Structure 1
Amino acid sequence: MEPIELWKQFLPVELRAHAPYLAQAVVEGTLDERVRRYGPKALFPISPVLMLDGKPVWHDLSQRAQVEMSWSSYERRAQIVAVARPEGQLEAMDRTGVEVAFLYPTLSLYLLGVDSLEANLGAAFARAYNDWLRGYCSRNPARLQGVGLLSTHDPVSMADEVERVAGFGWRAVVVLPNPVKGRRGLSDPAYEPVWAACERLSMAVAVHAGTHSRLPTSGADRFESHFALHACAHPMEQMMAFLALTEGGVLERHPQLRVAFLEAGCGWLLYWLYRLDEVEYVHHGGEVAETVKRKPSEYFRRQCFVSIEPDEPYLPAVVAHLGAENLLFGTDFPHGDHSDDIVEEALGLVKVLPEAVVRKILWDNPARFYGL
């Protein structure tokens, strides 16, 4: 949960006028009216709105969603305050038995979800965040591992930033899956130098979607509620990201590239791989024969990973059909999407899965993905 103050400190002086900031949310009606409409959660102040150049970063975020999300933040306020300091993050890891944490952006990922963002500013946001995170992780680099943020607004600078954060000793980078500036998602030829650099440097690539972004996003053309947009954005964007990397030949050209699709569970995977293998590849594969030279599931098994939720009821079926080699566990701490006992839930998977499989999910596979 990076602090809003980092931008004034780490952006280049000439770009600090574009530093994002938090503004008081505009509330609808009187307090009594809001309580009647939304219930007692409306008694608590609505969280500030992330702003960029005078405009909200989040798109289609209703007042009801703001109330619910503000309540979630209020419930986790102690954790959110604690992890502002690396010592607080380490204390939380100690309490839950987490040995190593790979840290992903929150506000910074939203900032890069604005299609109108100028390429140089997007690249500067990524560099500033990475510089701040490097200092945060320096408290204990062995246990606090940075994941470098890349801005897909500026393909020219992305490979250089991969090189730079690899020099920090980091082992992974994170990108949004959405199309940017009219480019064809992650398979666009403009990104080819990035994938080559990641493969050469053995840098893992994490694909992480977001909700309410100002980029073309699954479901945004037909839904407005956070309920629906969140349901669509995460799994559907991951499905299309894997398809783009497969159909566009990225996985074929870069067989050592490791890619993970995060925060969407693993349930979509069985259906999607079946669909791509047995319908598209079998009946329509000739059209893409130059870039897709094997079944999509073979690419996935060879070099891709997906994060699981420990309470997914079909997890044993995924293990049975796909195996356990490509599954990862993450807590998403301290976000409100998961319960406080998520680590205990993950450890409890030994009730439904063999202990060796649980060990792969909790340690062996993440270690292999991140190159520990």
Structure 2
Amino acid sequence: MNIYDADRHLIEPIGIWAQYVDEVIFKQFPIHLIDDAFERITVKNEQTMSVLPTYAIGPFPLLFHWGSALKIASSQRNALTMAQRKKAMTPTEQLKSMDASNIQCAAILPTFAMYIVNHSLIPSNVSLAYADAYNRWLKDYCGVNPQRLRAVGLISRHQPDTLLEQLTKVIDNGWTSITLRPEVISKRSLGHGDYASFWQACEQNNIAVVIHGGTNLHASTVGSDRFHSRFALHACSHPMEAQMAFVSLLESGVFESHPQLKFGFLEAGASWVPHWLWRLDNICFPEFPSLVDDHIKMLPSAYFKRQCWVTVELGEPCLREVINVIGHKKLLFGSDFPHPDHLHLVVLDIKQQLPELTAQEYVDVFENNARDFYDVAIDNNRARYLDPFGVNVAKTPFIDDEVYEGEFDGG
């Protein structure tokens, strides 16, 4: 089987930003490392170690609630995952890592860029400039083998009147999908009325919308107002934000108004789906029908079954219940490579890790469903044998002497 990885990440070397971001913007809000983070500290065993530097944009740390305890833990683990993260910095090494896991094709998503572009403290023009720079670099990165490295465009939500122009560039690149954060960004949820023309354009151009969250964003991620620990924040961010994103799109009428628009909820698992849809169908929807009938004209679960896909985690329980509710063709596989919180979930003995799947379900989840969601027709021979050195990679900055090598979840 040739696996289609619906959620695979690259790692952006720090050096690319100076080369791709508008020069005026970069001078005002450069990406840099805060050098005084290279301090020596004493840990529990009374040994000293160097704490990794802090990644920052302009005057602001990139990550929220990234305190000293997490810096220490991250520094201690840093070397364990360095090799995998370095592989994600260049397209040729990314392809080698895919070959090692029998992954034929992968949707390529950002790591640091999603934290930069969606940072709540930067101006809208800075967010837009970094989104544009990332997408131009992504085009070069995936251009090494576009049949196997499928670019997912990054969209800035800071200024809604720029959305259509951003989307036009994505379409002009020949890409079939975009990625958005699930949170409220610039005081707007995903269902906000300012996005109406954007959703319409996505539907008309058959652009799949990838909803991908993560921990430690400078935004109102669920849990960030009451927790500070990595454990609690990471437990809440992915699945709970996915649930709320679905509700925002549902109650605002986005699903009802755009029945052909596709949404994928990535890296939140799938086990939340049966409970959430049951609650919406049986508790919330029947309570006050007159309050929702303008925008919700059928059961919430019916919209999900019609328009939504979700990634499964290897070893995840309750998949038969998920399939009973939405069907197996709405399930995707995403490795989250190379982020440290998923590296232990290796693509080995997959059938043993997901014993609830039948033979046909297994093929669909790991190969066919992602092609349907991303609207990709793959030429197997070309994908397998395309020369990865078919472009002048020497002129394309994929890796740099100044690389942030810190431990990072990246969502």
**TM-score, length basis structure 1:** 0.93
| Alignment correspondent of 1:26 | 37
Partner of 1:317: 321
**Match for residue 121 of structure 1 among 123, 126, 147:** 126
Go from structure 1 to structure 2 and tell me whether the alpha carbon gap of 1:120 and 1:66 turns closer, same or farther (over 3 Å shift). same
Could you tell me which residue of structure 2 aligns to residue 158 of structure 1? 163
CA distance in 1, matches of 2:304, 2:228: 33
Consecutive unaligned residues in structure 1, runs of 5 or more: none
Q: Relative to structure 1, is the Cα distance of residues 72 and 156 closer, same or farther in structure 2, using a 3 angstrom cutoff?
A: farther
Query: 1:349, 1:358 within 8 Å by CA — same for their partners in 2?
Result: no
**How far apart are residue 238 of structure 1 and its match?**
0.6
SS in 2 for 1:342: coil
User: CA offsets, 1:176-208, max 9 Å, x none?
Assistant: 11112222x000011112211111111100011
Q: Distance in 2 between matches of 1:349 and 1:356?
A: 16
Q: Deviations over 1:48-95 (max 9, x none)?
A: 322111221211112222233334442111122222111100001111
Which residue of structure 1 aligns with residue 181 of structure 2? 176
Alpha-carbon distance in 1 for matches of 2:227, 2:345: 32
Give the Cα–Cα distance (whole angstroms) in 1 for the partners of residues 293 and 171 of structure 2: 34
The answer to whether the 8 A contact 2:54-2:61 is kept is yes
Q: Secondary structure at the match of 2:216?
A: coil
Moved over 6 A (4+): none
Structure 2 unaligned residues grouped into runs of 5+: 1-10, 377-411
Q: Which amino acid aligns with 2:374?
A: Y
Distance 1:255 1:12, change over 3 A: same
* Corresponding residue of 2:340: 336
Assess if the C-alpha contact under 8 Å between 2:256 and 2:296 holds in 1.
yes
Give the match's secondary structure for 1:351.
coil
Q: In the alignment, which residue of structure 2 is the partner of 1:213?
A: 217
Deviations 1:99-126 (A, max 9, x none): 0011111101111232232111111111
1:255 to 251, 259, 280: 259
The match for 1:100 is 105
1:243 matched to 2:252: no
Aligned pair partner of 1:202 in 196, 206, 226 = 206
CA–CA distance in structure 2, aligned partners of residues 222 and 351 of structure 1: 37
- Seen in structure 2, the aligned counterparts of structure 1 residues 318 and 57 have a Cα distance that, compared at 3 Å, is same
**Alignment-derived partner of residue 270 in structure 1:** 274
1:232-279 Cα offsets, whole Å, 9 max, x none, are: 111111100000000000111111100011111011111110010011
Q: Look up the equivalent residue of 1:2 and give its one-letter code.
A: E
SS in 2 for 1:305: strand
Pick closer, same or farther for the CA change 1:267–1:25 going to 2, 3 Å: farther
Which structure carries more helix by proportion?
Answer: 1
Q: Counterpart of 2:267 in 1: which secondary structure?
A: coil
Report if the CA contact (8 A) 2:271-2:317 is conserved: no
Greater relative contact order (Cα < 8 A, sep 6+): 2
Alpha carbons 1:265, 1:308 under 8 Å: kept: yes
Q: Does 1:131 align with 2:136?
A: yes
Matches of 1:70 and 1:189 in 2, distance apart? 43
Aligned pair in 2 of structure 1 residues 200, 236: CA closer, same or farther (>3 Å)?
same
Q: CA deviation at 1:349?
A: 4.7
Instruction: Give the conservation status (yes or no) of the 8 Å contact 1:307–1:327.
Output: yes
Q: 1:358 to 1:61 in 2, by over 3 A?
A: same
Is the alpha carbon distance of 1:350 and 1:16 closer, same or farther for their aligned partners in structure 2, counting shifts above 3 Å?
A: closer
CA contact (8 A) 1:310 1:345 kept: no
CA distance in 2, matches of 1:142, 1:72: 34
Read off the aligned partner of 2:224 and give its amino acid letter.
A
Deviation at 1:347, TM superposition (A): 4.3
Distance 2:169 2:138 in 1: 13
Q: Check if 1:7 corresponds to 2:17.
A: yes
How many angstroms does 1:294 deviate by? 0.8
Report deviation, 1:27.
Answer: 6.7
Select the residue among 51, 69, 86 that pairs with 1:64.
Answer: 69
Asked whether the 8 Å contact 1:7–1:128 carries over to 2, the reply is yes
Identity %: 35
Provide the C-alpha distance between the structure 1 equivalents of 2:157 and 2:190, rounded to a whole number of angstroms. Answer: 9
CA RMSD, Structure 1 to Structure 2 (Å):
1.8
Q: In the alignment, which residue of structure 2 is the partner of 1:227?
A: 231
Q: Distance in 1 between matches of 2:118 and 2:231?
A: 19
